[in-house]
A = this chain, B = another copy of it.
Amino acid sequence: MNVCLNADVGESFGPVRVGNDEALIPLISAASIACGMHAGDPTMMIRTIDIALQHGVAIGAHPGFNDIWGFGRRPITMKPQDIEYLVTYQIGALQALAATRQMKVGHVKPHGALNNMAHRNADVARAVARGIKAADRDLVFFANCCSEMTKAGEAEGLQVAHEAYVDRPYDADGAMVSRFNDNAVITDPRVAAEHVLRMVSEQALFARDGTRIPTPIDTLCIHGDEPTAVKLAEATRQALAVNGFRSVPIGEMRLAAPRADSLASPEQPLDVG
C-alpha cells in the first residue's frame, strides 16, 4: 500500500520567504516547485532543487498564472492555447535548471487558480495536459481526483496520478472547498491525519456533507505555504506509516496506464464571457 506524499514548494522569491522548505521537503517524496510566475524565481528554483536532491526527493513543476500579486490564486481567463504555452514555458525553465544538477523533472502539478479552473473546465484541463505533454510526454500529471484534469491527462496519453489534499476539505462534487469560504484549510495535524487515512484506506474522498466519492488516490498534497505545513506533513507521514502505508516517489506507484485509444479532442475556444 503505497502513496506519494507531495507538497508545493519553492514559493519564496528574492528575500521574501514563503513556507519552510528546509523542514518540509525531507518529509515528502515529491516536491512541486514554483516556476517564477505566481511565485518562486530562478535562484529559488535552484535552491529548492538542491534541497530535494540532498534529501532524495523527486521534483516536479508547479506552474501557475503569471500573477505575483495574487500568488496565482486569482482565476484569470485565458485562451486555452495561451495556457498551454504558459505551462510548457514554466516546465522548460525548471527542466533546464534541474539539468544543471543532473535532476529530471518527473511530474507536473498545476498551481492555485489554474488548478481549480482545470478541475472544472475541460478546455483548461486539456490545455494544461497539452502543455505538459509538449514539454515531455513522460511527465506524470498530478491531477485532482474527480476532475476534468484526470480525463484530459488520459485523453492526451499522459500518466495521471490522482491527487487528494491533506489540508483541504471537499465538497460533494469532489472539488476542494473554495478558499473564499471559512474553514477551507485544515490546520489541525490530527484532523489532517484522520482525513488522509480515511481517504487512502477507502480510496475515496469524503465531502463535508458526508458524500463518499470513490476514486483512485495515488498522491497526497500538502500546501507548503501554510504555516502548519510541516506539522501536517509529520502527522500524515506518521499516520501513514503506522497504518502500513509507504510514502514513495511517484515512479514507484503503479499508475493506471493511459488509454491506448486516447485522441486529442479538437481545440475549442474557452468561453471568456
Known: A36-B89, A71-B14, A85-B46. A272 touches B96 (CB 8 A): no
Q: Roughly how many angstroms separate A269 CA and B73 CA in the complex, as a whole number? A: 16
Nearest to A134 among chain B residues (CB) is: B100
A22 at the interface (CB under 8 A from B): no
Cβ distance A48 to chain B, nearest Cβ, rounded Å: 12
Task: Check A273–B16 contact: CB distance below 8 A.
Answer: no
Q: Roughly how many angstroms separate A97 CA and B113 CA in the complex, as a whole number? A: 23
Task: Check B78–A77 contact: CB distance below 8 A.
Answer: no
Q: Roughly how many angstroms separate A182 CA and B115 CA in the complex, as a whole number? A: 29
Cβ distance A170 to chain B, nearest Cβ, rounded Å: 15
A88 at the interface (CB under 8 A from B): yes
- Collect the chain B residues with CB atoms within 8 Å of residue A70's CB: 14, 76, 78
From B85, B94, B135, give the contact of A43 (CB < 8 A).
B85
Q: Roughly how many angstroms separate A113 CA and B71 CA in the complex, as a whole number? A: 20
Q: Roughly how many angstroms separate A70 CA and B79 CA in the complex, as a whole number? A: 11
A214 at the interface (CB under 8 A from B): no
Task: Point out which of A13, A96, A116, A269 has the most chain B C-beta atoms below 10 A from its C-beta.
Answer: A96
Q: Roughly how many angstroms separate A222 CA and B44 CA in the complex, as a whole number? A: 26
Task: Check A69–B41 contact: CB distance below 8 A.
Answer: yes
Known: A69-B41, A75-B76, A78-B74. A272 touches B180 (CB 8 A): yes
What 5 pairs across the A-B complex have the smallest Cβ distances? Answer: A92-B96, A42-B85, A42-B89, A75-B77, A100-B134
16 A-B pairs (CB sep. < 8 Å):
A13-B68, A13-B69, A42-B82, A42-B88, A43-B82, A43-B86, A70-B78, A75-B75, A75-B273, A88-B97, A89-B97, A93-B93, A96-B134, A96-B135, A180-B269, A180-B272
List 18 additional contacts besides A89-B96, A116-B273; criterion CB under 8 Å.
Answer: A13-B68, A14-B68, A14-B69, A14-B70, A14-B71, A16-B16, A43-B85, A75-B273, A79-B180, A88-B96, A88-B97, A89-B93, A91-B96, A95-B95, A96-B134, A99-B134, A100-B134, A178-B273
